[in-house]
Amino acid sequence: MQEETVWITKAKEGNQHAFRELYATHADPLYRFLRQFSSDSDQVEEWVQRAFIKAFLHIGSFEGKSRFSSWLFRLGLNEMKMDVRRTQIVAFTPTEEEQEESDHGAERFEWKQLMKMWMDELDETKRGVFILYEVEGYSHAEIASLLGIAESSSRTLLMRAKRYLQDRWNKENLR
């Protein structure tokens, strides 16, 4: 974390190596997070690129009050939302191969696939809150700032997302 602060300071001074380090650290987490909102890898790459470009162009305005990753995630989410508003993104559906694996593969993989399918049925905000809180480990305060919502809304949305997923899980098990 302290090392990251050093890289950010150096990046603000125009150190190219620092930009490269920030990219190396945050590209994968941002990509995998945004990947949950689209099955089109090219589309996800574009969001990641745009988020990094904005972050690097405006790194001088980053005050360090929040984590760099949460600032970057917010930029990535904004890019994603902008495109979602423009066009309806193709919903996540597992590939045939994945579906097959899901049918015959390990239980964990099945759980993953199901979870992702159900999550796709959630709206973007609920999905975002769920992943950010449950998977990425952000606090409600951070999520609230990241998504531009109230902290209490973040809690409510998470609760609703969990309840929805729980219902789907119960239904699946009753089959």
Partner 1 sequence: MIRPDEFYSADDMPDENSRTKMWRFIESRVPLLGSRSSSSRDYRIFLYGMAASIVLMLALVGAWTLAMQALENAQPEPIRLERAYVSAIQEFERVVPSVAAKADAKPRAADELKQRQEQLRLINAAVTDLRRETNGRDLSPLKRERLRQLYSQELKILQQMIEAGDIEL
Applying CB under 8 A, the residues found at the interface with partner 1 are 14, 16, 19-20, 23, 27-28, 31-32, 35-36, 41, 45, 48-49, 52-53, 56-57, 98, 108-109, 112, 115, 131, 134-137
Could you tell me the smallest distance in angstroms from the CB atom of residue 132 to partner 1? 11
And the tokens for 14? Answer: 């125009």
* CA 171/CA 127 separation, integer angstroms: 20
Whichever of 38 and 145 has its CB closer to partner 1, that residue is 38
Q: Minimal distance in Å, beta carbon 67 to partner 1? A: 16
Tokens 């162009």, located at residue? 57
Q: How far is the CB of 19 from partner 1 (least distance, A)?
A: 6
Specify the residue, 37 or 125, whose C-beta has the smaller distance to partner 1.
37
Q: Are 37 and 80 in contact (CB under 8 A)?
A: yes
Indicate the residue type of 63: E
Q: Which is nearer to partner 1, 35 or 74 (CB)?
A: 35
Nearer to partner 1, 12 or 148 (CB): 12
- Cβ 3 to partner 1, closest distance in Å? 20
Closest CB to partner 1 among residues 24, 148: 24
Using CA atoms, how far apart are residues 151 and 114, in angstroms rounded to an integer? 28
Structure tokens at 66: 């929040």
Token look-up 């600032």 returns 71
Provide the 10 A C-beta neighbour count for residue 71: 24
Residue 16 beta carbon to partner 1: minimum distance, rounded to whole angstroms: 6
